[in-house]
Amino acid sequence: MTFEPIWNSIIAWYLFLAGLGGGAYVSAAFLRWRHPEAVNMIRIGRVIAPVVVIVGLCLLMFDATAGLHNPLRFALLLTNFGSVMTWGVVFLGGFTILALIGAGLDLAKRRVPLWLDIAAAVFGVCVAVYTGCLLGVCKTFPLWNNALLPILFLVSAMSTGMAAVLCVAIFRHPEEFNRVGVFKKFHFCLPIIELVLVASLLFVTASNASPAGWESVMNLVGGDCALAFWFLFILVGLVLPTALETWLLFFSPKEFEESRKAHWISFASDAGVLVGGFVLRLLVLVAAMPLTLVVPWY
């Protein structure tokens, strides 16, 4: 029997959007702390967060066909606190409510309490980690069943959340975009950390006791997923943004950095981060091989 991935693009979109939403709110909270004058960028983060998470949740419900046919069953999601998915529902529910309040207050030009931003950012981190743990507890798949994956998803979530905020800011508020130097430097570090985490994940998974680990890694680096892995994830999603931002942040003259041309380069780099973030989720879902097919009962 050839193995068909259990979850594919719909769930990859959901994992991506949930992480992005969490990251976007964390970005807003970070901007409030380090760049309180960038009020429009803070608003962008607060608004993106609930919108993308709600879209992700709709996708999730659409994929859970039996629940879609009987929506009341979704209430049962809160019955097994031994399941990571139940915790995910708690985090996603809490996050969506907090982020909606934050976005609502901001759009109504009311002051958003600091505690609300902190609470929503904490829930945002929980949502991002949860997307990794959801897969991480499945012992069936060595590519998922390790402690690196939730951390990788967390870093990627923060990175994509920040990239989304920056992408919108480039078009809507370029003057604020030019002034958030600390924010951009943090954003710059994340793809580098991701590269280290991905390399570690591949090495650890490849040497898993079961050949399933090796097979999964081979799917990524040399099999059906290789083109997407090397080109879309590693090159477009990690290396290109790192290279472009290194140049813009550290080697280009200040006047150029604030020019429209530089903004387009930044946009390309952030769009790359977003593409990479989605492709990472999709590849992790489809490349994972299960223990018992590759090692069939020897």
- Burial classification of residue 24, based on how many CB atoms lie within 10 Å of its CB (0-12 exposed, 13-18 middle, 19 or more buried): buried
- Burial classification of residue 86, based on how many CB atoms lie within 10 Å of its CB (0-12 exposed, 13-18 middle, 19 or more buried): middle
- Dist CA 148 CA 35 (whole Å): 31
Per CB under 8 A, 10 contacts other proteins? no
Q: 57 φ, ψ to 5°?
A: -65, -35
Closest distance to other proteins from the beta carbon of 200 (Å): 23
Helices (H) and strands (E) in the chain, counts: 14, 0
Taking residues 141 to 170 in sequence order and writing x for each that binds other proteins by CB under 8 A, - otherwise, the string is x-----------------------------
> Looking at 33, 74, 186, 267, which residue binds other proteins (CB under 8 A)?
74
Q: How many residues bind other proteins (CB under 8 A)?
A: 39
Per CB under 8 A, which region of 46-54, 139-147, 175-183, 195-203 contacts other proteins? 139-147
Among residue numbers 80 through 109, which ones bind other proteins (CB under 8 A)? 80, 82-86, 89
Minimum CB distance to other proteins smaller for 25 or for 144? 144
Mention every residue, 6+ apart, whose C-beta is less than 8 A from residue 144.
135, 136, 138, 284, 288
Sign of torsion, CA 204 210 212 215? positive
> Looking at 34, 139, 172, 185, which residue binds other proteins (CB under 8 A)?
139
Which residues sit at the interface with other proteins, rule CB under 8 A? 1, 3, 6-7, 60, 63-70, 73-74, 76-77, 79-80, 82-86, 89, 134-135, 137-141, 290-293, 295-297
